[in-house]
Amino acid sequence: MNERQPQLRTVEVIRYVTPLREGGSLPAIVEADDEFMYVLKFRGAGQGIKALIAELLGGEIARLLGLRVPEIVFIELDEAFGRTEPDEEIQDLLRASEGLNLGLHYLSGAITFDALVTTVAPQLASQIVWLDCVLINVDRTPRNTNMLMWHKELWLIDHGAALYFHHSWQNWEEQAKRPFVQVKDHVLLPQASELEAVDAAFRAILTPERIQAIVGLIPEEWLSVESPFATAEEHRQAYARFLEIRLAHSEIFVKEAQDARKALI
């Protein structure tokens, strides 16, 4: 387990390299002023800032639990990039995303995980399934695994579709207690035979203090956009409370996953 206090660096885009035309959000590979390449997730894309918050929380929770996630950074995007881009669709996206965005370190040479090619050990499979049940992450299916193989190791990417309750915040405290029925489509569910052991170990790691540290990373400006809460801090604490409630009722989603697995095998 990683015991570090979570911190994110902030870098600035110096070169737009190429769009990644996968899905509807048009992320891009960019070069930053630290001379590293990143996959930039735009605040002006599809689900907007909420997807960035889900990416941030999902990735840093996974990292805390010892799973491999590319480094996440805040990325400043200057208004100049929107003026020089010839593609109108990308130009509009760049202009809508001026300011603070999110990026993941680009894993050059990584290949998409294929369950038919790579066998994942039961403990690791159980850890990833459990994580996605907590995050209600609908986007780890055979059709779109959102996992990469890099240097023979499995890396998790793209948690932007997680925590989908926050697109409306309707009955969010009740939603925190619900089973994750979409787990039946999880690409690693057949191998996830150690869910109970993982549940006990991971709940011990995800203490309220550690959850607070991770939600504390969310920039205040992101919590003030289209917020249903009176203050940014109230908004932040709602994320913390959702996760705490979900962990306190983890037996509900663990049983759902176990039942779905039995139906598969």
The model's pLDDT over 150-161, given as tens digits with 9 standing for 90+, comes to 999 999 999 999
Handedness of CA 234, 236, 240, 243 (dihedral sign): positive
Do residues 161 and 99 lie in contact, with contact meaning Cβ atoms separated by under 8 Å?
A: no
Does residue 46 register a pLDDT over 90?
no
Find tokens 């790579």 and name the residue: 118
pLDDT of residue 225: 85
Do residues 110 and 229 lie in contact, with contact meaning Cβ atoms separated by under 8 Å?
A: no
Does residue 2 register a pLDDT over 50?
no
Mean of the pLDDT values across residues 9-37?
88
Is residue 173 within a helix (H) or strand (E), and if so which, with residue range?
A: helix 172-175
pLDDT of residue 219: 97
Does residue 92 register a pLDDT over 70?
yes
Q: Name the residue with higher pLDDT: 21 or 145.
A: 145
Closest CA to 261 of 161, 167, 193: 193
SS3 151: coil
Backbone angles phi, psi at 46, to 5 degrees: 5, -90
pLDDT of residue 57: 98
Q: Which amino acid is at 21?
A: R
Mean of the pLDDT values across residues 239-243?
98
CA distance 255 to 244: 18
